[in-house]
Amino acid sequence: MRLAQLALMLVLALLLATPAVAGRAEDALKQEGDRWNAAYSAGDWTALRALYADDAWLMTNKAPVAKGPDAIIAYLRRFSGRGSVVKFRFEPEDVMASRPFGVVVARYWMTAQLPGEAAPVRVAGRSMLIYKWQGSGLDAGWKLWRDMDNMAPDVPAE
């Protein structure tokens, strides 16, 4: 009888602990968006590249897919290389984390001030970011694996 009670208590403890673990994983995924934005805003392409899985894809509106971190960084640098000032803002709407994959659906806003242009370019939409858990031990972490952006009529440009 004591063994059955102990087993039941163990199962209940595991069930109660699972939401807390999932909550921490989901919070970690939300922070990945902040890390991405900080690296992009600082022009820290090395740090930005480190956030991507080796087999990552970037799929943006009206552009061919960029496959691999080097192609993604080259695509993302295209504005800054011409002296543009680009700012992003993300607001996660839905987050799910269950290793080995996590998903973030977020609204985004981008403002790009192009050299020689009076008015900035404003784009808004929604992103679906799929993260893959990679590595082991202290080197383990979420890496951005698939990033798909689209313009969405219910996310107006600011």
Q: Is residue 80 part of a domain?
A: yes
DSSP string, 95-129: EEEETTEEEEEEEEEEEEE-TT-SSPEEEEEEEEE
Q: Is residue 125 part of a domain?
A: yes
pLDDT category of residue 1 using cuts at 50, 70 and 90: low
Host domain of residue 40: 27-151
* Rounded-to-integer distance, Cα 87 and Cα 110, Å: 6
Q: Is residue 20 part of a domain?
A: no
Q: What's the pLDDT tens digit per position in 85-96?
A: 888 898 999 999
* Rounded-to-integer distance, Cα 151 and Cα 45, Å: 25
Q: Is residue 74 part of a domain?
A: yes
Q: Is residue 124 part of a domain?
A: yes
Q: What's the pLDDT tens digit per position in 6-31?
A: 444 444 343 344 444 457 888 888 89
* Rounded-to-integer distance, Cα 133 and Cα 145, Å: 9
The domain total for the chain is 1
In the block, residue with structure tokens 């504005």: 79
Q: Looking at residue 89, which CATH number applies to its domain?
A: 3.10.450.50
Q: Is residue 12 part of a domain?
A: no
Evaluate whether 61 touches 149 at the Cβ level (below 8 Å). Answer: yes
